[in-house]
Structure 1
Amino acid sequence: MVKGGTKETRAAGRALDPRAERSRAAALAAASDLLIEHGWSGVTHVSVASRSGVGRTTLYRHWPESAMLIQELLAELFEVERPVRTDDLREDLIRELQAFLAVLLNPKSERALRVIIDQAPLDPRYAEVLASCSRKGTDGLRAIVDDAKAAGGLSGGLDTDVAIDLLLGPLTFRRLISGHGFAERYVPDLVDGFLAAHARRS
């Protein structure tokens, strides 16, 4: 996605040596902390070098622009392990929403998401990152909904994008807009309400 330090670039070329990997990890960790503490403007080559102990020459070699460093940081923060499918619609929806909720409740990824949303209208590179995060973040849920519609578990007339909005919208609004936490039954109750309205009746 971004040239200079992405996993795709490293995989395509020669693997980095352990020292380079340690420097990269230290730089990303420092950038993550700076992003939380100071926001977008706080992540610069100078500040990351000071915080991480990694030389600026090394930082510029991997990430010629600070935006590249932030983009890779965001990609890693939103990289989550997909829940294992059980073929039980209710259980699969709950697991998928809980994985999404874990991202929202992680201070670093929550802060990063706020940065992306804030910058996307102003910078096309971050609009691209937001679109990519949105696609990756909803792929699993989209597959569950589409499979359930095909199998008859959900109404065939239900628009998949609308279904995703109905399931993820309340989580996003409650956390990013209202700033509230979540009771233990919040996700199961949300899924049950969704199924009560949209599950196909026998």
Structure 2
Amino acid sequence: MTAQHFDRRDPRLDRSRSAILSAAVALLSEGGVRQVTIDAVTARSGVARSTLYRHFPTSAELLAAAFQELLPPLRLPDPDASPRDRLLQLVLAQADQIDQAPTVAAVVWLSTLGLSGVPSGADDQSRLTALREHIIERYRGPFEAVLADCLPPSGRDIDVAAAQLVGPLMFNALITGRPSDREFCVRIVDDFLAGRDPMTA
């Protein structure tokens, strides 16, 4: 047999992995972390439990893959824009993502503080830690970079600042149902920056 023969990937593996991930992503979108169980994913995907474990040996690994499948990175702001405009661009991008999947967006931001409610051993904890770092890099990281330019060193609490900016978007999506349109995002950013260092203008 040729080397080319050994390099061929069984297309059934790709199909089963895709079906598993599609089911996990749907469950995550509909009900959050607790819905992404092995039983629920096998039932929805039609893939056998043994096949699922070939792709994802633990539920934490499956959950991590579902998050990474579902979460596109935030659009990065124009580096030549003012700090205020870059911050507004990030808030608008986050508002768009929350509007598309509010429950998942809430889970994402909770996950930057640590995933809970997922049974896990040492291996699972390391995977969840890697997932948390991935989420922070994709979602908190861009805010951290821009907020470093917007906040004076004495008041640079990135966690609080990010919560003040993203919290109203979450509240609209999950509680009031009010759209977080451009006008709303402008008000969030301008209220946030009011009274802060003038370099943000």
TM-score (norm 1): 0.69
The answer as to whether partners of 1:45 and 1:60 remain within 8 angstroms in 2 is no
- How far 1:115 moved relative to its partner? 8.7
- 1:119-158 Cα deviation digits (max 9, x unpaired): 9344474974456524531111111122x25xxxx54433
Aligned to 2:20: 27
What is the DSSP-based 3-state SS (H/G/I as helix, E as strand, rest coil) of the residue aligned with 1:198? coil
Counterpart AA for 2:86: D
% of aligned pairs identical? 31
Cα distance in 1 for partners of 2:88, 2:176 equals 22
The partner residue of 1:92 within 58, 83, 86 is 86
| CA apart distance, 1:71 | 2.0
Change (3 A) 1:32 1:22: same
* 1:159 lines up with 2:156 in the alignment: yes
Q: Which amino acid aligns with 2:64?
A: Q
Given residue 115 of structure 2, which amino acid in structure 1 is its aligned partner?
A: A
How many residues align? The count is: 183
Instruction: List alignment gaps of at least 5 residues for structure 2.
Output: 1-6
Give the alignment partner of residue 98 of structure 2, picking from 90, 96, 104: 104
Q: Is the 8 A contact 1:155 1:199 kept in 2?
A: yes
The residue number in structure 1 matching 2:50 is 57
Structure 1 residues 94 and 37: alpha-carbon distance in aligned structure 2, compared to 1, 3 A threshold: closer
Higher relative contact order (CA 8 A, sep 6+): 2
Q: 1:63 to 1:167 in 2, by over 3 A?
A: same
* CA deviation after TM superposition for structure 1 residue 37, in Å: 4.2
Aligned to 1:138: 140
Judged with a 3 Å threshold, the aligned counterparts in structure 2 of structure 1 residues 80 and 132 are, in CA distance, closer, same or farther, namely closer
Q: What's the TM-score, normalizing by structure 2?
A: 0.69
TM-aligned CA distance change 1:136 to 1:80, over 3 Å: closer
Structure 1: state its 5+ residue gaps.
1-13
- CA RMSD in angstroms, aligned pairs only: 3.5
The code of the aligned residue for 1:51 comes to: R
Contact 2:37 2:59 (C-alpha < 8 Å) held by counterparts: yes
Q: Which residue of 2 aligns with 1:8?
A: none
- Cα-to-partner distance string for 1:58-112 (whole Å, 9 max, x where unaligned): 21101122232122112332332432423212221111112222332223x6247
The match for 1:9 is: none
Cα gap change, 1:67 to 1:112, in 2 (>3 Å): farther
